[in-house]
Amino acid sequence: MVTLTRAQMKRLTAVHGWSGTILGLLLYAVIVTGTVVVLGDEIGAWSAGGIRTDQPIVPGIDTRVRPIIEAAPAEHRTDITVFANARGELLVFPHADIQHPDSGEPEPYGTLFRLDPVTGGTLSRHEGFVFREPAWHEASALQDFLVDLHVQLHVPPPWGLILTGVLGLLMVAMGVTGLLMHRHLVRDLFVPVRPGRRLVSARDRHVLAGSWALLFAFVLGFTGAYFSFAGTVVFPLLTEVAFGGDEVAAAEALFEPPVVTDARPAPLAGLDRVVADAAARAGSPVDTLSIERYGRADARIRTFHRPPPDGMDFVRTVYDGVSGGFLELRPVIGNQPSGGALLMGLMWPLHTGSFAGAPSKSIWVGLGSMMAFVVVSGMRLWLRRRDAQPLWQGFGRAVTIVGYGLPVAMLTAAHACFLAGAVDADAFRWTPAGFAVGVIPGVLPGLLHRDEDGARRLYRGLLGAGVVLLPPCRMVTGGIGWGTALYDGQGTVLSIDLALLVLGAALIGWAMRPETMPRPRSVAAE
């Protein structure tokens, strides 16, 4: 490890502590919500009532998609996107990009058809700027809310993304300074926690968790900052410098396959053959299908696939839209494979842990939980050295309130989502409203309970009760039962229910456990 002088170590400790304290509560919120969002797809299927089919875009799709495209207005055939929501329903969206009257920016406008993936029947039809209305295309209001909370902290764009980008860089800085401060990193990975509740024991727990989470903190912070700044800073700056502000030219150069313009009328190739060939080449089912310039000789069909079992990067294919012939496997950016394209392709799986199925996601959830503990325990250690000052005492109470209150409010949002669905209300409106209401039980215990240990026990009991009640709340409000889930092969629904029951019981048991260890001594006594 790097050898540091006493003065250098003191400065690093100050940087590490102050950076974590100033924005620590916001960083904790991003980490906690991100840990939950790692299971976003699973939460979406669970809260939406299960998946009708996990592979809606398969051979046989041509007879469902083509009639919708042919009936669409000619001006909406510029782009046709076919994808699925959290319930596995098929969505077909013929559209064109037109200027939105409010934003002044080009946005997709067209008619969105939601189809039953089994029968092919039309479930709903909406026309307009579709992606401004999540209820039209999303199946899970809970998943939509949690993702937005993590990505933007519900701060209006683009400031929410910029804020989370700054927090990502802060996580990188904390990881780097933490690494430099570890004089015995390998030993710290296995350091035992000394008994008691003294300051030294709290430091042991912080060091142990931080040692295991150091590399993860750097990866998560770097990739998170990339996603936050890419669309708000990097690509707009690149567009301005390299393309004179022409967004269309920039998108064509960076993301669109080069095409020789040919507007002659020509029929579209059979989609079934393209879908079957693309799935075989990619090693995974088609996740999204895109048709560009429908009815023209220069039409292109593109498919997007999740990483195959032996890979980490998403796969993209391009086919001739008239002949259906395979043209290329396309990198995530640019027209040729490159180191930059490879790095960009790894950003998403590294950030979400979605490269090895349930095992990698489970590891990411565990490491994310560890990072949340590192942030909170680090703030507590910093505060313990300043607990004689009233201002820092108030901040310490704020750490307790946010640390427990945020999960309480998120649980309230989940309950509100299910209750809104039961009374046929707009779940996409009532889920964030439930979060706002949940702030009250999330804050009151920390404000009213004078004893901090007592407040924590009350919070744990409240969290445990809320978690245990989620599965019955889901089923009572119309969700599928365990028997139906087993019969239909909905393992995700059953697994999440069981995990919630176990977690809730553990939290209730933790809350009821009597205090047997001595209260912490003052810093002076240490």
**What is the C-alpha separation between 57 and 304, in angstroms, rounded?**
11
Same domain? For 87 and 208 the reply is: no
Q: Single out the residue of 428, 410, 430, 421 nearest to residue 132, CA to CA.
A: 428
Same domain? For 368 and 469 the reply is: no
Predicted confidence at residue 517, as pLDDT, reads 42
Report yes or no: 277 and 65 within 8 Å, Cβ to Cβ.
no
Residue 245 gets the label, from left (phi > 0), alpha (psi -120 to 50) or beta, of left
**Adjacency order of strands within the sheet including 79-84:** 122-128, 106-115, 90-99, 79-84, 286-292, 300-305, 315-320, 326-329
**What is the number of domains present in the chain?**
3
What lies within 8 Å, CB to CB, of 388 at 6+ separation is: none
Predicted confidence at residue 7, as pLDDT, reads 66
Predicted confidence at residue 410, as pLDDT, reads 97
The angle subtended at Cα 168 by Cα 163 and Cα 169, nearest 5°, is 100
Tally of CA atoms within 13 A in the half-sphere of 354 that contains its CB = 19
pTM, to two decimals: 0.87
Q: Where are the alpha helices (DSSP H) in 230-335?
A: 235-243, 247-254, 271-282
Q: Single out the residue of 118, 105, 110, 71 nearest to residue 94, CA to CA.
A: 110
Question: Among the three residues 139, 173, 199, which one is the final residue of a domain in this structure?
Answer: 139
Residue 417: domain span: 389-521
Q: CA dihedral in degrees (444, 445, 451, 456; nearest 10)?
A: -140
Report yes or no: 500 and 39 within 8 Å, Cβ to Cβ.
no
Same domain? For 132 and 215 the reply is: no
CA distances from 326 to 323, 364, 384, 478 (A): 9, 36, 64, 45
Question: Among the three residues 122, 139, 156, which one is the final residue of a domain in this structure?
Answer: 139
Same domain? For 377 and 395 the reply is: no
Give the residue-averaged pLDDT of 307-326.
Answer: 91
Residue 231 has pLDDT above 90, yes or no: no
> Beta strand pairing status for 90-99 and 300-305?
unpaired
**311: in domain:** no
Q: How many CB atoms lie within 10 A of CB 413?
A: 23
Same domain? For 367 and 516 the reply is: no
**What is the C-alpha separation between 448 and 440, in angstroms, rounded?**
12
* Token reading at 337: 């494979």
**What is the C-alpha separation between 346 and 192, in angstroms, rounded?**
35
Question: What confidence category does residue 187 fall into, taking pLDDT thresholds of 50, 70 and 90?
Answer: low
Predicted confidence at residue 91, as pLDDT, reads 96
Same domain? For 126 and 19 the reply is: no
What's the one-letter identity of residue 214? L
Residue 125 has pLDDT above 50, yes or no: yes
Same domain? For 92 and 72 the reply is: yes
Q: What is the DSSP string of 77-114?
A: -SEEEEEE-TT--EEEEEEEEEE-TTT-SEEEEEEEEE
pLDDT in tens, 7-61: 655 665 655 555 556 678 888 999 999 999 999 999 999 999 888 787 899 999 9
pLDDT in tens, 269-288: 999 999 999 999 999 999 99
Q: Which of 309 and 89 is assigned the larger pLDDT?
A: 89
**What is the C-alpha separation between 290 and 302, in angstroms, rounded?**
5
Give the residue-averaged pLDDT of 67-92.
Answer: 93
**306: in domain:** no
Q: Where are the beta strands (DSSP E) in 253-335?
A: 286-292, 300-305, 315-320, 326-329
What's the one-letter identity of residue 484? T
**286: in domain:** no
pLDDT in tens, 397-407: 888 899 999 99
Q: What percentage of residues in the chain have a pLDDT greater than 70?
A: 86
What's the one-letter identity of residue 235? F
pLDDT in tens, 381-436: 777 766 666 666 777 788 889 999 999 999 999 999 999 988 989 999 999 999 99
Question: Among the three residues 139, 160, 175, which one is the final residue of a domain in this structure?
Answer: 139
Same domain? For 109 and 11 the reply is: no
**What is the C-alpha separation between 379 and 362, in angstroms, rounded?**
26
What's the one-letter identity of residue 236? P
Q: How many CB atoms lie within 10 A of CB 231?
A: 12
Q: What percentage of residues in the chain have a pLDDT greater than 90?
A: 51
**318: in domain:** no
**What is the C-alpha separation between 207 and 230, in angstroms, rounded?**
33
Predicted confidence at residue 358, as pLDDT, reads 87
Predicted confidence at residue 71, as pLDDT, reads 92
Predicted confidence at residue 448, as pLDDT, reads 82
**What is the C-alpha separation between 7 and 182, in angstroms, rounded?**
15
Residues 247-253: contacts with CB under 8 Å, at least 24 apart: 247/106
**441: in domain:** yes
Report yes or no: 64 and 115 within 8 Å, Cβ to Cβ.
yes
Q: Average pLDDT of the chain? A: 85
Number of residues assigned to the chain: 526
Question: What confidence category does residue 465 fall into, taking pLDDT thresholds of 50, 70 and 90?
Answer: very high
Residue 108 has pLDDT above 80, yes or no: yes
Predicted confidence at residue 523, as pLDDT, reads 39
**423: in domain:** yes
Same domain? For 419 and 485 the reply is: yes
**428: in domain:** yes
Residue 85 has pLDDT above 90, yes or no: yes
Same domain? For 235 and 369 the reply is: yes
* Token reading at 69: 């495209």
Same domain? For 172 and 23 the reply is: yes
Question: What confidence category does residue 183 fall into, taking pLDDT thresholds of 50, 70 and 90?
Answer: low
**493: in domain:** yes
Helix, strand, coil percent content, the chain, rounded in steps of 5: 60, 10, 30
Question: What confidence category does residue 515 fall into, taking pLDDT thresholds of 50, 70 and 90?
Answer: low
Same domain? For 100 and 185 the reply is: no
Burial class for 320, CB neighbours closer than 10 Å (0-12, 13-18, 19+): middle
What lies within 8 Å, CB to CB, of 126 at 6+ separation is: 111, 112, 133, 136
